[in-house]
Amino acid sequence: MELERIVRAALLAFVQTHLPEADLSGLDDVIFSYVLGVLGDLGPSGPSEENFDMEAFTEMMEAYVPGFAHIPRGTIGDMIQKLSGQLSGARNKEPL
């Protein structure tokens, strides 16, 4: 599915940019599905304090990518905002 491909590419690129020495072998379909689910809950407006738990997201990512918790929260939030917009645009392009 296109949405999963977008999440996979964006998350891998983000981690490689901010943690170039990170072992990405732990990133599997479970974490990509989790991120897709989190982003699906956000809607087109992106993350806010009411609809996005940064702490829970960071803890989950830290479990799969040690060092993720050291990435500044603002940087993670920017990535989530951008990815949410990309997914929203991709959903609008998918045939019904």
* 3-class secondary-structure state, position 55: helix
95 domain-assigned: no
Here the tokens at position 40 are 């699906």
Q: For residues 52 and 1, what is the distance between their CA atoms, to the nearest angstrom?
A: 24
* Domain enclosing residue 6, as ranges: 2-89
96 domain-assigned: no
Predicted local distance difference test score (pLDDT) of residue 41: 74
Mean pLDDT of the region 54-68? 94
Please measure the distance between the N-terminal and C-terminal CA atoms of the chain and give it in whole angstroms. Answer: 14
**How many domains are there within the chain?**
1
Q: Please tell me the pTM assigned to this model.
A: 0.84
Check the CA dihedral 21-26-29-35 and report its sign.
Answer: negative
Tens of pLDDT along 5-25?
999 999 999 999 999 999 888
